[in-house]
Amino acid sequence: MTSKISRRQAIKVGGLAALGLAFSKPIISTIAPKPAFANYAGNGCTPGFWKNHTSTWPTQYNADPLFESVFTVPTAYAATLGSPKSLGDVLQLGGGCEQALGRHGVAALLNAVMLGATAFGISSAAVVSAVNNALATEDCVQIESTKDNLEGFNEQSCPLGGMIS
């Protein structure tokens, strides 16, 4: 004997399933290698662009200030990011973890100031805060995650290439 499900029961089960989905955490946000919330649809230039085109830097950074005068460098990273390293010096660094975040942090800062938060997608204050918070953890997983997010912003379409003579 087979049991029949009424239309009302089917709708009730379907509604409960939809309600359950509405309150569940999306899988993509837990497995995505880059933050699923990030929207990289603006303009941004890479660390390599800024390293090779210092003449296009925003005026407040023309003097190439020390990295630690803009960002907070924990003692653990003083040797790689601390004085006497300037923003330009940090763009020249190779390596991962804090050095990669340093490169992308400097590029993101220059992008945010030069292009503006609307075109770039994030403000200079948010860049500084994100870099400082990541470095403060002294955890390469957290640092790489922040670097990946900033890298997404930095690797958008660079509108400044046409300005170079």
Q: What is the mean pLDDT of residues 43-59?
A: 96
Split at pLDDT 50, 70, 90, the class of 1 is: low
Q: Which residues contact 1 (CB under 8 A, 6 or more apart)?
A: none
SS3 124: helix
- What does the H/E/C string look like for 73-94? CCHHHHHHHCCCCEHHHHHHCC
* Residue 64 predicted with pLDDT over 60: yes
Here the contacts of 117-126 (C-beta below 8 Å, separation 24 or greater) are 118/42, 119/42, 119/43, 119/159, 120/42, 120/43, 120/44, 120/153, 120/156, 121/39, 121/40, 121/41, 121/42, 121/44, 121/153, 121/156, 122/153
Let me know: does 81 contact 67? Beta carbons within 8 Å.
yes
Q: What is the mean pLDDT of residues 132-153?
A: 98
Split at pLDDT 50, 70, 90, the class of 3 is: low
What's the start-to-end Cα distance of the chain, in Å? 83
Split at pLDDT 50, 70, 90, the class of 34 is: very low
* Residue 140 predicted with pLDDT over 90: yes
Higher pLDDT, 165 or 105: 105
* Residue 51 predicted with pLDDT over 60: yes
Q: What is the mean pLDDT of residues 105-134?
A: 97
The token pair that represents 150 in the structure block: 């900033």
Say how many residues make up the chain.
165
How is the chain split into domains, by residue range? 34-163
Higher pLDDT, 9 or 79: 79
Q: What is the mean pLDDT of residues 26-30?
A: 36
Which pLDDT value is given to residue 83? 84
Split at pLDDT 50, 70, 90, the class of 86 is: very high
- Rounded to whole angstroms, the Cα distance separating 134 from 99 reads 12
